[in-house]
Structure 1
Amino acid sequence: MEVEDQIRRIMEGEGLEFTELDVHPDQAKPATLRKTVSYIVCAVILNDQEEVLMVQEAKQECFGQWYLPAGRMEEGEAIEAAMQREVKEEAGFDCQPITLLLIQEQGPQWIRFIFLAKVTGGSLKIPGEGDQESLQATWWDRVSPLQLRGRDILDLIDSGLKYHQETWHPRTLPVAIPCSHVVQRLVLIFSNAEEELWVLLVKAPRLHLPTAGAVKTHTLMWASSLVVQDALGSLYYDQEVTALGVLGLQHHYHPTPGRLQSRCSDGVCFNMLAQLVPDPVQRDRDGEKLEVVPPSQPPPPENPRYTWKRIQSQATAEELFPTVAPTSHQDGQRADIGAATVAPQLPPRPRRLRELGSPEAGPGAPAAGHTDPTAGSSVALRPRTRP
């Protein structure tokens, strides 16, 4: 498959078969649910009055507090099916996923998939119907006092409301393609002042987008930097890698007829868009600042396994070209989706999504206090088409 066809499939949310890891394959372990990986699902569900569905916790450590329907995936579940089960168990409703909103992570040991969903049946769990899953459920107007289990859900609710009011990316759900590891497939782009666009590729066994596996000690987003460091060598330290958003994800939860069991696993492949830009502050050996001249071409890879390919298709280039300069946020800080900064010297274009702050502790979250590159991150899905 030609490179631009690969990119087009990813941009359209179809995904690509995962075959092998290109970066540090010896460090990443195959994904086994509840052993090497832990997946959390969470649902934002709104009614016609834009009230949000909330459940009252029955767990001893948070008894009586309120949270979004959420919980851990079980073995043999699809990501969407796990979300539907949690909503049914905790709130009493049947539901249908509309789209993925956000993906939060603190490395492969804690990944949370946040869906926007809609009620399709069932009935609200009322007092007296409580069980070990929850005490009851309610529709919250977001104004009335409610003792929350964690304030992290406020950003999730806000994202759901914004999508409900204005669809800022196409409806995106996991694609059923198996993956042995937790993987990031990187669409790394470089652009110059003339808006020419290049994408980083691995040469063998055929030209393809690079992949890197998640390791326990680092966040998933750190894989982008690992790819760039592997490709550029010493030139890596003069560059910045900016995550622009997730284009889609791939997960296959059980064998289908005619498919070998060995081809199916608990892994997830995140198709990620990122941009390479020169570090705005560079210094000589004496520590003095150097004037940075915007390069007309991407930095040449020091690793012969890699190459840059210029995108010839105008349509593909327009879809990929970053139009927002994402703002970095330290651990614990947050940013509203859409509060974007337009890239300098470029005309305004449709908003892109950007990396957000670290998630606060939610169901199944590890202890806080990590620092980059081990600090957690929350990444939104990026629009694939112009509105």
Structure 2
Amino acid sequence: MDYPLQKQIKTSVVACIVDEQQRILLTRRNIPPFFGQWVMPGGKIDHGEPIHTALKREVQEEVGLEVTVESLIDVYEHVTVGERRDHYIILYYRATPQSFELSINPDELSEAVWFAPEQLPKIDVPPGCRHILAQLHPQLAWSHLEPPGDLANCEIPGVCPVEKG
């Protein structure tokens, strides 16, 4: 099926939620993009919605947590993702949980898990998430999770498998 090239860039905000034990909350998606992969909670910014408001809303909708937004970690761009060739610019923010009882949205996620830093390099995450995690934990061995390069279709699970080292 052919999809028309989208007319606008999708701007999203994502929360890298770090608890007191330095664990990071990851969620497994059950919808595209990145179906089946682990990602951090987040989503689109609605027109007219402040960035921090969007981040807090998305975290609440996806995992039921209240968070305090701390600082921008980095910006990551996904170009021509999937059959629709979507273009995303994602703002990744560090956040601290103010509540801890997870309540996942089953329409978007199959699970949510707190991961210790040493577990992160072994987890199947998209390139943007991997980029942020590697910035937060540069001391970890990320060699087998090198970005797939400019071929954006490799960001979709099962299209271009990343070789395990």
User: For the residues of structure 2 that align with 1:37 and 1:152, how far apart are their CA atoms?
Assistant: 16
Q: 2:129 aligns with which of 153, 157, 167?
A: 153
TM-superposition CA deviations, 1:59-91 (whole Å, max 9, x none): 166444311112222233111111112211222
Matched residue type, 1:68: M
Pair 1:332 & 2:164 matched? no
Larger radius of gyration, structure 1 or 2? 1
Relative to structure 1, is the Cα distance of residues 114 and 62 closer, same or farther in structure 2, using a 3 angstrom cutoff? closer
Relative to structure 1, is the Cα distance of residues 93 and 135 closer, same or farther in structure 2, using a 3 angstrom cutoff? same
User: For the residues of structure 2 that align with 1:38 and 1:51, how far apart are their CA atoms?
Assistant: 29
Q: 1:66 aligns with which of 23, 35, 38?
A: 38
> Counterpart of 1:103?
75
3-state DSSP of counterpart to 1:93 = coil
Root-mean-square deviation over aligned CA pairs: 3.2
Higher strand fraction: Structure 1 or Structure 2? 2
Pair 1:113 & 2:91 matched? yes
User: For the residues of structure 1 that align with 2:34 and 2:129, how far apart are their CA atoms?
Assistant: 15
- TM-score relative to the length of structure 2: 0.63
Contact 2:117 2:137 in 1 (8 A): no
Contact 1:51 1:141 in 2 (8 A): yes
> Counterpart of 1:248?
none
User: For the residues of structure 1 that align with 2:115 and 2:74, how far apart are their CA atoms?
Assistant: 21
User: For the residues of structure 2 that align with 1:73 and 1:43, how far apart are their CA atoms?
Assistant: 13
Matched residue type, 1:123: E
Pairwise CA distance, 1:36: 3.2
> Counterpart of 1:51?
23
Considering Cα pairs closer than 8 Å and 6+ residues apart, tell me whether 1 or 2 has the greater RCO.
Answer: 2
Higher helix fraction: Structure 1 or Structure 2? 2
Percent of aligned pairs sharing the same letter:
23
> Counterpart of 1:132?
107
Contact 1:53 1:140 in 2 (8 A): yes
Consecutive unaligned residues in structure 1, runs of 5 or more:
1-33, 163-330, 334-357, 363-387
Detail structure 1 runs of 4+ shifted over 3 Å in the superposition: 34-37, 60-64, 142-147
Pairwise CA distance, 1:106: 6.2
Relative to structure 1, is the Cα distance of residues 61 and 106 closer, same or farther in structure 2, using a 3 angstrom cutoff? closer
